[in-house]
Chains A and B, each alone.
Chain A
Amino acid sequence: MTSETSQHWQPENVRTRIFLRSVLPLLKVVWQDRAQFPHKFRKTKAVFQFVALEPAALPPEDRGAYLQVQEGQLSVHTGIHQQPTLTYEFKTQVALNDFFAGKSVLPRIRGLFRHPILNMKVLQLLMALRILDPETPTKKPADRELRVKLIMYMLTHALSQLQKGQHPDMCQLVDKSPDRIYQWSIEGTDIASYLRMHKGKAKSGRGIYSKRRPFVHFVFSSIDAAFEVYTNTDSQMAAVEKGYVYTWGSPEYSRKISILQQKIDELLTGQYGTENPSN
């Protein structure tokens, strides 16, 4: 860890990055998976914004994001829109983060009186992300599939955000990494995501990376196996022993990635503490 990276490491900023850039875009997956949402918004042309007022010194893309609905399509953008239809405004970055973490934080909603029904629809859409919460019952196969898909996509993207947010452990890993692909996939499905590291940069993507073979490939044996791994607290080793996941390639680096994924979970739930994350 360099002193430069440690100075830039701000856990709350990275929490925001992950919520706005990794979690909120999952709504597009939900949108495609659940037909009721395109139906609900079929006649809507609107912008729904989420923004933290403080710290105002943060660049707009690090404290704001918005959903844009138009012609039955949903898109997600970072930054602050000039003419939002509804704005969910949080006094602080911490409040915004806690809202997305599922805590009882109420934002000020600008535009509520003009668009109360639209507000209800937006909240219903946001509630769909509660499927990420381990406490949310998911017995239907379709729900289980959606949950593992969302978690896999989110974790891969969030790993990249850790690096971009200067998390020391992640930076240490990426800075030293040759061109390497970490791949996740579920057997018998097209659910897959990958993380590429090269010369101090990281990038996440969905699907199978086709330009080269993976350095480490985490293969879940089924959706149910992925569900167990993502919702239980078993160690990676225990999951391997049970046959839920096979890790092809470096066991040391698969281990490092798994530990970083745990740190993402700690960040999202606000349990990251104040200690040096390298410890």
Chain B
Amino acid sequence: MKKVQGFTWTVEDTNLITYHEIYGDVLVELGQQDERIVCLTADLANTTKIGRFKEAFPERFFNVGIAEQNMVAMASGLAATGLKPVISTYAIFATLRAAEFIRTDIAYNQRDVTIIGTLSGVSFGQGGATHHAQEDLALMRSIPNMLVLAPCDGYEAAKAVRAAVASSSPAYIRIARSVEHYVHKDQDFAWTLGKASLLKEGSDITVIACGITVYHALSAAERAQADGVSVRVLNMHTLKPLDHEAVLQALTETRRIVTVEDHSIVGGLGSAVAEVIASSGKGCAFRKLAHPDRFSGMGYPDDLIHDIGIDDEGILKTISELMKVDITVDDDWQDES
């Protein structure tokens, strides 16, 4: 092999080994069931796997070229005719470049369009800040009518795609490279749109994660368990609508919460959870693990997430720090008899 490392390796070669990226197959399956489903991409049919839909239904597939804003506007128009468009391109371009089109053409008009953003967070690695999607969750969360999902692996991405298409609502699904570790062994697990998945029960502290950080949260929780710390792990696959109940339950039962995301510390999962905690009026030791408020660096994705501190080591370190915070829990002021 000539391409040992570098930009081309990330973009081209990993495409060859995304054997576990299954949402493309799910789209084909959905397309067979519902003739209204059409797919669009901005010159990234193969890389995003939406190209599998093209192979199955060439007459229902549109490659608009590198013109994301046009793609979104076109999808909105198609949806206005009663079709169910699904868009897929890199997360950075799908959301930030086409933001106003999503807001006004799709969300404002409540168009039934599903947007799948790939290579989210820093998963583009050597592509650098211009290709990293650090702000997509913040942006999509702030737009009314949008569903916002960040599945943790390929199997959950498949469920997210099914749920988003079935919802008839504007939806944004963010996925990473699809070469990351799997959390689930197959698609046979309970999953509900808008409801956090409890992956590990625990009573000392709760780690709320989304996307690729869920695997690291579980890993950190298992390591903390070995040291006698009981860590609850919530997979917050749906950021909007957020599962307030799960957050409040974690707040009440563990009083220590860490959020983890491959996204800016501004406006993402951590901010969403913080809003719930602040509104509750209850005290809580709380940390947000996310990208600092600056543009990301360049490098291998795994090194970047390590440097940011959102891998298992970073999470474990934060768990350890937060366990030192003294929490006095006494919500019940009835005299004991």
Contacts and interface: CB of A to CB of B under 8 A. Distances in A.
Interface in B145-193: 179-182
Q: Which of A243, A247, A249, A251 has the most CB of B within 10 A?
A: A251
Contacts of B218: 213
B24 interface: no
Contacts of A212: 219, 222-223, 312
Given A179-B313, A213-B312, A247-B17, A255 B4 contact: yes
Nearest to A176: B303
Interface residues of A, number: 24
Interface in A237-251: 237, 240-241, 243, 246-251
A213 B222 contact: yes
Contact of B226 (A211, A236, A241): A211
B270 to A, nearest CB: 23
Interface residues of B, number: 29
Given A213-B312, A248-B181, A178 B223 contact: no
Nearest to B302: A250
Q: Which of B5, B181, B182 has the most CB of A within 10 A?
A: B181
A248 B302 contact: no
Interface in B272-302: 300-302
A250 B182 CA distance: 12
Interface stretch (B8-16, B32-40, B48-56, B238-246): B8-16
Nearest to B1: A235
B306 interface: yes
A34 B10 CA distance: 45
A213 B233 CA distance: 15
Nearest to B216: A213
A180 B304 CA distance: 14
Contact of A252 (B9, B20, B226): B9
Contacts of B16: 237, 240-241
Interface in A78-100: none
A259 interface: yes
Closest 5 CB pairs of A and B: A213-B219, A250-B302, A252-B300, A240-B17, A248-B181
Given A213-B218, A240-B19, A250-B179, 20 more contacts: A178-B306, A178-B311, A211-B226, A212-B312, A213-B222, A213-B312, A237-B1, A240-B17, A241-B16, A241-B19, A243-B19, A246-B19, A249-B181, A250-B300, A250-B301, A250-B302, A251-B14, A252-B5, A252-B301, A252-B302
27 contacts: A178-B306, A212-B219, A212-B223, A212-B312, A213-B181, A214-B181, A215-B302, A217-B181, A237-B1, A237-B13, A240-B16, A241-B16, A241-B17, A241-B19, A247-B179, A248-B180, A249-B180, A249-B181, A250-B302, A251-B13, A251-B14, A252-B10, A252-B301, A252-B302, A255-B5, A255-B9, A259-B4
